Structure 1
Amino acid sequence: MTQNPSEADKPVYGGHANSDLTSRHLKSLKIASILERRTDLSQADVLDIGAGAGQTANFLKPRVRSVTATDRETDAFLPADIPILETPGTDLPFDASSFDIVVFNHVIEHVGERDDQRRILSEIARILRPDGLLYLAVPNRWTLVEPHYQLAFLSWLPPSLASRYVRWRGKNDWYDCRPFAHRELLKTLQSAGFETDDATEEAFRDLLKIEKSDSRLARLLAGLPSWLVRAAVPLMPTFVVICRARDQSHRRDATD
Structure 2
Amino acid sequence: MSESSGKRHLIEKLDKRRIRVRDIDRVFRLANHTPSSILDVGSGNGAIIGYYSEYGYETVGIEVSESAVKQASKQFPGTKFIHYDGLHFPFGDSSFDTILLNDVLEHISYDDIEQVLAEIHRVLKPNGLVYISVMNRWQLIEPHTLIPLLTWLPRVAWNSVCMRLKKIDFSNVWPYTRGRLQSLFKRHSFSFDDLTNVYVQHKFHGVNPIGNRMTSRIVRLLQRTRLIRIGYFLALKVSVLVYVARKT
CA distance 1:219–1:206, shift in 2 (3 Å): farther
- The CA deviation at 1:219 is 11
Q: 2:78: which partner in 1?
A: 81
**How does the TM-score come out when normalised to structure 1?**
0.76
Structure with greater helix share of residues: 2
CA distance 1:19–1:84, shift in 2 (3 Å): farther
- The CA deviation at 1:157 is 3.6
Q: 1:50: which partner in 2?
A: 42
Percent sequence identity over matched residues? 24
Aligned positions of 1:1-256 closer than 5 A? 20-37=13-30, 38-41=32-35, 44-76=36-68, 77=72, 78-112=75-109, 114-209=110-205, 210-212=207-209, 217=220, 224=229, 232=234, 235-246=237-248
User: Does the CA contact (< 8 Å) of 2:23 and 2:198 recur in 1?
Assistant: no
Q: Counterpart of 2:78 in structure 1: which amino acid?
A: D
User: Does the CA contact (< 8 Å) of 1:70 and 1:87 recur in 2?
Assistant: yes
CA distance in 2 between counterparts of 1:87 and 1:156 reads 33
CA distance in 1 between counterparts of 2:85 and 2:156 reads 24
CA distance 1:74–1:81, shift in 2 (3 Å): farther
- SS where residue 20 of structure 1 aligns? helix
- SS where residue 93 of structure 1 aligns? coil
Residues 4-43 of structure 1, C-alpha deviations (whole Å, 9 max, x = no match): xxxxxxxxxxxxx9962322111112212211332123xx
User: Does the CA contact (< 8 Å) of 2:41 and 2:63 recur in 1?
Assistant: yes
Paired residues, number: 223
- SS where residue 146 of structure 1 aligns? coil
- The CA deviation at 1:185 is 1.2
Residues 227-250 of structure 1, C-alpha deviations (whole Å, 9 max, x = no match): x95x6476132110000011xxxx
The runs of 5 or more residues in structure 1 that have no matched partner are: 1-16, 247-256
Q: Counterpart of 1:105 in structure 2: which amino acid?
A: N
Q: Counterpart of 2:38 in structure 1: which amino acid?
A: V
Q: Over aligned residues, Cα RMSD in angstroms?
A: 3.0
The runs of 5 or more residues in structure 2 that have no matched partner are: 1-9, 211-215
User: Does the CA contact (< 8 Å) of 1:45 and 1:64 recur in 2?
Assistant: no
- The CA deviation at 1:122 is 1.6
CA distance 1:188–1:64, shift in 2 (3 Å): farther
CA distance in 2 between counterparts of 1:135 and 1:119 reads 18
- SS where residue 96 of structure 1 aligns? coil
Residues 193-249 of structure 1, C-alpha deviations (whole Å, 9 max, x = no match): 110111111332234442249x9959959x849xx95x6476132110000011xxx
**How does the TM-score come out when normalised to structure 2?**
0.79
CA distance in 1 between counterparts of 2:95 and 2:54 reads 19
Residues 174-208 of structure 1, C-alpha deviations (whole Å, 9 max, x = no match): 42110011122111112121101111113322344
